[in-house]
Structure 1
Amino acid sequence: MPAGLDWARHGFQPRWLGMETSDCAVAIEPGHFSGRGDDERDRFLAASARRGELALVISVIGDVDDDGPRRVLSRFDASVQVGDIFTSVAGRRLPAGSRPTIAPDLGAADRDLAIRLLTRPPDAPWWTLDLHGATLSGSNGQIHHPPEGQLEPILVDALGDPVVAAWVPPAGDQRWYVIPDATPWDNLLGWLIHSALPAYAPAVLRRARSPHFIDPDLQTGDELAARLALTELKARYAEEKTLLEQQLRAAEQRAEPVRYGLLYGSGDDLVAAVAAVCTAAGLHTVALDQDLGGTKSADLLVSAGDAPPRQLVEIKAVGGAAQESLVGHLQRHLDTWPQLRPDLPVTGGVLVVNHQHKLPPAERPAQVYTRPEFVASLPVTVLSSMELFGWWRAGDWPAIRSAILGAEPTAAPVPPQSPTASHPGQAPPDPSRSWWRRRRSGTATA
């Protein structure tokens, strides 16, 4: 427990080792070793059973600071004992970035706990939970004690395994919550006083005359209806928030390889990103290294379908300024293409260059080549991967198709602070005046 926790603000008065616990409302992190909390825990459980009250217990699993190697002979790296000495909940730390979801068919109190725990920091770890018994070895061999009770999931991971759960014994007289380390205790105490105790042990609050307890038996119909509506609103918000977070993660997973490839990639990463952009724009792409069996030609063959126009696309990455000799690589591929695939004539070629990729995107020049004489003599289209990125990010598929296949392009919408600008504050190039469009209106083809 963290030092300096304001128990009184939440309506609690803590009892520690050596103090009377029979009249307590909840047990938090009870001990199970002699002299370290087992007597206090047993008195609390026995008194709750005698009064016919459901005993609420909170146990924390895992250690957020333990980043050492995992046990070789076990799938689990943490455990907490629940119930009798033969039943425990074992935990296995999940990979970084795991994000659980709310289990179905929860009551209002457990759903509130799930919502609160989903507000933990994004990098806070989670442990998947599993119920275990115990196997004891003696002179008569091994004796296996199966686990008692069951785990009721509250939050589950992507595979449906619980990461937060309540253990309930066969008698149903306890509700033992197992939560992950790094859970804010203020948030948990608020849940206990406002949700868990009113739902599962209201007699405890009535007996203590807690000012935080709102007795539903003493409320009007309007109060009950408003409280129910508020609870349902919180539940809908949690579900919608979880859904939107899942959609965001899925969108980020789809976008990141393309973004990284176009802005920072080289080799296969860059080729895959350019191919993904062409495919997203509705173009058909063929990876020529796979199709021809080796580096015999350009990287991609791109078309609008089975019919012309078809373009050979050569893709390069350079950390500094692009060498003018890169154009010659594409030109040689155009010259040898008729011998490789005479059945698929091409209209021309496109050179895509991720240039100056060691610089931040906003500091890179917009155009691959700037020497006017060289630009005017180009026999092929030259595009920067930054241009493709700007169109792809904005979803301007006509501009991508026009740039690759050579049709008359439409002006691409430029989002605010577009990374295609040469320098911060400089206006991006006007597509209607770009040199590749002027080249398309000229005569140079291969």
Structure 2
Amino acid sequence: MSSSTTGLVPVHIGQPEPGSEEEQGLLLRRERALNQMGPPEPLRVPGDVPWEQHGLVPRWWGMESSDCPAAVEPGFFSGQGHEEFERFLGGARQRGEVALVFAVVGHADGDRPRNPLSSVDASVRLGDQSTSAGGRRLPKGMRPEIAPGLEGADRDLALRLLTRPEGAPWWSLKLYGSQSYDGYRSGRVDHPAAGELHPILVDSLGEPVVAAWTPPEGDQRWYLIPDATRWESVLGWLVHRALPKYVPAALRRARSPFFIDPDLQTVGEQSARDALEDLEARYAAEKHRLEDELRQAKETAEPVRYGLLYGSGTDLVHAVARVLTAAGMHTVDLDEELGGTKSADLLVGADGMASRLVEVKGASGPAQEHLVGHLQRHLETWPQLRPDEPVSDGVLIVNHQHKLHPSERTAAVYARPEFVASLDSLPVTVISTVELFNWWRAADWAAIRTAVLGDAAVTAQSAAPVNPPQPPSAQRRRWWSGGRHQ
């Protein structure tokens, strides 16, 4: 039987047609079993997949499957589905073709009960059903990598799956055998795992999380993909990469518009197509590299950004310390150094310059003026704590009005004119964390060193990087006052 629609490749789907009486009956039976056996297996393939857009036509339960070159999520429920899958395998075997199968591993919802005697969270039956693949759900935040040496169509699949949402789950994969019992001899029969697992994506320990399984005969190729993977991405890969690689005759039979027969191409066409595929592969790899670089940059920046703009207490102190260290200054946590809150929060200095005490405070509303007095007392008592390590001045860094968005806060930490004027006669510099944040995000290390250590810091030796020009967007949106004391 050929495809009823010219140009579309038939694909066996291991479940009833969406909206059919068979689907309603299956859902009803599964609902009845809910109270007896726990949550039933979900229907993996949604009804809104754009099959024709990808050059495919679905063959659901009850439809001919022997002419299908691929099967998507073969399932067996209440004794149904087995015959269609066997006809699918038989048709591929008769044609001498590799049977391509896509099976989903795990459940993204994560609320299904686990068998306490099982060592795996998810598994998939493979081939003759005596072999399965599965493993444990991996921790959140795990970022897989392309398996070493992977090339061609499978590498393209790996690149596509790396674009899954950041929080999408992954499961480790390992082959398992099975056991049966001989009723005549009353003995247990062990069936070892058969076939080979070919890693496509691996976790940080080198264990596969996406893989292709092939039986010893080599007549099947099962792709094991994690739940919460978009079918559109997989089906696009099936038509454009998998079928041309493993079952090109299927595209010829269907006269698929997506199939480019290499036997009918000119040298120029082949050369241009190879170059285009190479470009697409390099683009995908570079895109993944840059996305990973962006992710790492965000993970590094977020604690500092949140701490400076919305933090208080220890979070705020740590964020300030990281910024001052990044600007090339030596930073010491005095609470840890002195064994308690005996002085300011930080001791900050640079090579060839006197150190300064840095007090870090957070305030949900306007900053209180007595914070300056607290820092003055720390300066007065410092000689008793460390007489052999003099300090010159003090720096008060305040995250004021931190319940407001930075753009809604007052630019200056203090606003009363008489108090602001009095700061000029004190050995204290006042800086807002918003001001410090904007210098930090623009990598303006010189501005940070000058604000904290004074004008002499500009000429002092520093290991900090050279200050890059500030982007125009940052110049247009300044949330700080620009004054030394404010």
Cα deviation, residue 391, structure 1 = 0.8
Task: Give the 3 Å change call, closer, same or farther, for CA 105–209 of structure 1 in structure 2.
Answer: same
**Are 2:448 and 1:400 aligned?**
yes
Shift in alpha-carbon separation, 1:418–1:263, aligned structure 2, 3 A: farther
Match of 2:409 among 358, 364, 389: 364
Q: Per-residue displacement from partner, 1:274-296 (whole Å, max 9, x unpaired)?
A: 11111111111111111111111
Distance 1:34 1:342 in 2: 83
The answer on 1:15 being equivalent to 2:15 is no
Between stretches 54-63 and 181-190, larger displacement belongs to 181-190
Does 2:250 match 1:204? Answer: yes
Q: How does 1:329-348 map to 2 (within 5 A)?
A: 329-348=374-393
Query: Residues 219 and 369 (structure 1 numbering): CA distance in 2 closer, same or farther, change over 3 Å?
Result: same
CA contact (8 A) 2:451 2:484 kept: no
Would you say 1:264 and 2:310 are equivalent positions?
yes
C-alpha contact 1:93 1:126 (8 A) present in aligned 2: yes
Aligned twin of 2:138: 94
Closer, same or farther: CA 267–259 of 1 in aligned 2, 3 Å: same
Is the 1:394–1:415 Cα contact (8 Å) retained in structure 2? no
CA contact (8 A) 2:431 2:484 kept: no
Q: Which segment drifts farther, 314-323 or 400-409?
A: 400-409
Which one is further off, 348-357 or 182-191?
182-191
1:293 maps onto 2:339 in alignment? yes
Summarize the Cα distance change of 1:137–1:346 in structure 2 as closer, same or farther, 3 Å threshold: farther
For 2:156, the equivalent position in structure 1 comes to 112
Hey, what's the Cα distance between the residues in 2 that align with 1:149 and 1:91? Answer: 17
Which secondary structure does the structure 2 equivalent of 1:41 belong to? Answer: helix
Between 275-284 and 43-52, the greater mean CA deviation after superposition: 43-52
Distance 1:13 1:419 in 2: 54
Selected match of 2:103 from 59, 62, 73: 59
Q: Distance in 1 between matches of 2:52 and 2:303?
A: 51
Q: After the TM superposition, which of the residue ranges 347-356 and 92-101 deviates more from structure 2?
A: 92-101
C-alpha deviations, 1:55-105, integer Å up to 9, x for none?
Answer: 111111222334467665555322211112221111433344444333333
Post-superposition offset of 1:114: 2.3
Alignment of 1:193 onto 2:239? yes
1:178 matches 2:178: no
Instruction: Look up the match of 2:485.
Output: 436
> Does structure 1 residue 278 correspond to structure 2 residue 324?
yes
Cα deviation 1:106-144 (Å, max 9, x = unaligned):
332212222333343444333332222224577866544
Residue 419 of structure 1: CA displacement? Answer: 10
Q: Shift of the alpha carbon at 1:392?
A: 0.8
AA in 1 matched with 2:249: A
Q: Distance in 2 between matches of 1:256 and 1:58?
A: 38
Q: Name the stretch that deviates more: 155-164 or 366-375.
A: 155-164
- Structure 2: stretches of 5+ with no match in the other structure: 1-44, 459-466
Q: Residue 173 of structure 1: CA displacement?
A: 1.5
Aligned amino acid, residue 366 of structure 2: A
Number of residue equivalences: 428
1:303 matched to 2:352: no
Q: Distance in 1 between matches of 2:312 and 2:50?
A: 55
Closer, same or farther in 2 for the Cα pair 1:282/1:4, shift >3 Å?
A: closer
Q: Tell me the TM-score normalised to structure 2 length.
A: 0.81
**Residues 68, 21 of structure 1: alpha-carbon distance in 2 compared, 3 angstrom cutoff:** closer
RMSD of the TM alignment (CA)?
Answer: 2.7
In 2, the alpha carbon distance for the partners of 1:324 and 1:217 equals 83
Q: Decide whether aligned partners of structure 1 residues 7 and 81 sit closer, same or farther in structure 2, where only a CA change above 3 A counts.
A: same
Secondary structure of 1:242 counterpart: helix
Per the alignment, in what secondary structure is the counterpart of residue 357 of structure 1?
coil
Alpha-carbon offset, residue 248 of structure 1: 0.8
Q: Distance in 2 between matches of 1:252 and 1:56?
A: 39
Instruction: Give, as a single letter, the amino acid of the residue that structure 2 aligns with 1:203.
Output: A
User: Is the partner of 1:172 in helix, strand or coil?
Assistant: coil
> Is 1:242 matched with 2:288?
yes
1:327 to 372, 382, 392: 372
Moved more, 144-153 or 31-40: 31-40
Query: 1:373 — aligned with what?
Result: 418
Q: Which moved more, 1:279-288 or 1:17-26?
A: 17-26
Shift of 1:216: 1.0
Distance 1:144 1:392 in 2: 63
Q: How does 1:21-170 map to 2 (within 5 A)?
A: 21-32=65-76, 35-67=79-111, 74=118, 76-136=120-180, 143-170=189-216
What is the CA distance between 1:203 and its match in structure 2?
Answer: 2.5
What runs of 5+ residues in structure 1 fail to find an aligned partner? 423-427, 438-446
Moved more, 48-57 or 108-117: 108-117
Aligned to 1:382: 430
Deviation at 1:322, TM superposition (A): 0.9
- Counterpart residue identity of residue 342, structure 1: P
